[in-house]
Chains A and B, each alone.
Chain A
Amino acid sequence: MRAIARTQNLLIQEVDNELMVYDQERDVCHCLNPVAAKVWNYCDGYNTVDDIATFLEQELEVPAETDIKGLVWQALEELGSLHLIQEYRQEQLVFTSTISRRKVMKQATLVGGFALGALFPMVTSIAAPAAVQAASHAQPPSPEDCNKRKFRGAHKNRKPWKHQ
């Protein structure tokens, strides 16, 4: 199975070792942690899940007992749910009940004394606020206010006005 990362209508910005991905179709911004970012970057339509797992194993310096492939599946599942995977080549991605965060964690804990948090692919997301929602108000804005206000920027050179 080979996944292809979506590229259309996305703004991508690196910040330290994470990746910010702004989905312009949904006005949602995602923060991909290093593991999720690596998995997503390797989704070029040519790398298989096994390939990606191999890359991560080399780059993350994890003990051999860690279920790296499970982490990759975990990441792909999450990225797919966030509309960051464009398509899958060959067979359709199949998620079995064995691929779960709990299973991956259990296997990883067998390693012992290891920083688990950094290993898990994680994506944090927010819906980008409209201008009215993000602004301050004398009183909290109503839902109607948030929906009806539109801003088109400054007018240019409107006609002069005078007071008497």
Chain B
Amino acid sequence: MLTSNFSQLEQGTETLLDDIQWQAGITFITYGIRIGIRVNAPSVLALLTNYLPPQWEPSVSPIVDKLYSLIVAGNSLHHNSSNGYHLLYDEQAELTRTQELEEIFEILDSELRLWVGVSVQHRLFVHAGVVGWRGRAIVIPGRSFSGKTTLVAALVKAGATYYSDEYAVFDTDGLVHPYPRLLSIRQQGGERTKRCPVEELGGQAGTDVIPVGLVVNTWYQPKGQWNPRTISSGQAVLALLDNTLVARLRPEFALPILSRAVSGVLALEGERGETQDVAVALLEQLEASIA
């Protein structure tokens, strides 16, 4: 039955995933959300845990809020399998099919982060890089490919504490919580993203909940010069809202939190060139504003 169902799936025929005899799975809780992932190859689970949201905890309950299903083609872990496609499902909907297992993991990672960020009710997720310095957070809002991770890595190397290269997680008081996932450092030359623990950069992950000290709305420009202008608190709110997952879904939740977070805080905006110089300048600017 297992084989015939997989054949039907590979042929694109819709079938009931619940009828498949899954070989392994994991249930975990993150930010109060219960998620299940079931797989047909038990050996995949160990690799999967590297792509789960930070601070996840295993759960013994079989009841979940969201269920993903991963079908490894031919029960094989070999990349570029010529026997068929690996399939990833979100509930009953096919998310992707690919012959590269690493790609499945990255897509699952992206889906988990998005879904958790949207579903959690008591935290506000803003797409941003975050580091800590002297008990204050430097928040760098920005979409994918905006260079956040590069700047965060430079700040960590300059001595800042790592909070996240993905999300600024705000509570209802506007304070920032750690989201210390592995840094996703994009490689040049078309190579896959490298997942890097902050310790490899010589840094450490923050654990304290801290207030915002500096908001930096910046973008990379080749040969750019870091000469930022100060923006108002309201404009800082806009920069953060522009990267808030629930901006449209729950603006009544997002706006007060962001306003509390940036009230009285220094906010800068401008293009940047090489990150090393910018990182040092940002730490100095935050230092000056605290003094």
Task: Give A residues with C-beta under 8 Å from B.
Answer: 11, 13-16, 18-20, 22, 24, 27, 29, 31-33, 124-126, 128-138, 140, 151, 153-164
B84 on the interface (CB 8 Å rule)? no
Decide: A24 and B249 in contact? CB cutoff 8 A.
no
**Mask: chain B, 237-262; 1 = CB below 8 Å from A; 0 = not:** 11001111111110110011011001
B22 touches A138 (CB 8 A): no
**Which residues of B are found within 8 Å of A29, using beta-carbon distances?**
238, 241, 247, 251, 255
Stretch of B109-117, B199-207, B274-282 lying at the A interface: B109-117
**CB-defined interface of B47-90 with A at 8 Å, one 1/0 digit per residue?**
00000000000000111111100000000000000000000000
Contact of A128 among B63, B119, B233, B251 (CB under 8 A): B251
Shortest CB distance B128–A (Å): 10
Contact of A138 with B103 in the complex, beta carbons under 8 Å: yes
Give A20 Cβ to nearest chain B Cβ, in Å: 6
B61 / chain A contacts, CB cutoff of 8 Å: 160
With CB as the reference atom, state the residue of chain B lying closest to A151: B118
Report chain B residues within 8 Å CB of A155: 65-66
**Closest CB-CB distance, B255 to chain A, in whole Å?**
4
Query: For A18, what are the chain B residues with a Cβ–Cβ distance below 8 Å?
Result: 232-234
A156 touches B232 (CB 8 A): no
Q: Digit string of B84-105 for contact with A (CB within 8 Å is 1, else 0)?
A: 0000000000000000000100
Residues of A within 8 A of B242 (CB): 126, 128-129, 134
Contacts of B262 in A (CB 8 A): 15
| B235 lies within 8 A of chain A by Cβ | yes
**Is the contact region of chain B dominated by helix, strand, or loop, or is it mixed?**
mixed
* Shortest CB distance A164–B (Å): 5
A31 is contacted by which of B107, B237, B251, B263 (Cβ under 8 Å)?
A: B237
Q: Is B159's beta carbon under 8 Å from chain A?
A: no
9 A-B pairs, CB-CB below 8 angstroms? A16-B233, A27-B248, A124-B238, A133-B143, A134-B242, A134-B243, A136-B114, A158-B65, A164-B21
Report chain A residues within 8 Å CB of B258.
15
Q: Which of B18, B62, B232 has the most CB atoms of chain A within a 10 A radius of its CB?
A: B232
CA distance A153 to B24 in the complex (A): 26
Task: Note all chain A residues with C-beta closer than 8 A to B106.
Answer: 138
For the complex formed, measure the closest distance between the CB of A112 and the CB atoms of chain B, giving whole angstroms.
24
List of A residues within 8 angstroms of B193 by Cβ = 138
List the 5 closest pairs (A to B, CB-CB), nearest first. A18-B234, A31-B234, A160-B62, A163-B25, A15-B259
A15 touching B234 by the CB < 8 A rule?
Answer: yes
Tell me which residues across on chain A come within 8 A of B23, comparing CB atoms.
163-164
Q: Write the B137-156 contact mask toward A (1 if CB under 8 angstroms, else 0).
A: 00000011100000000000
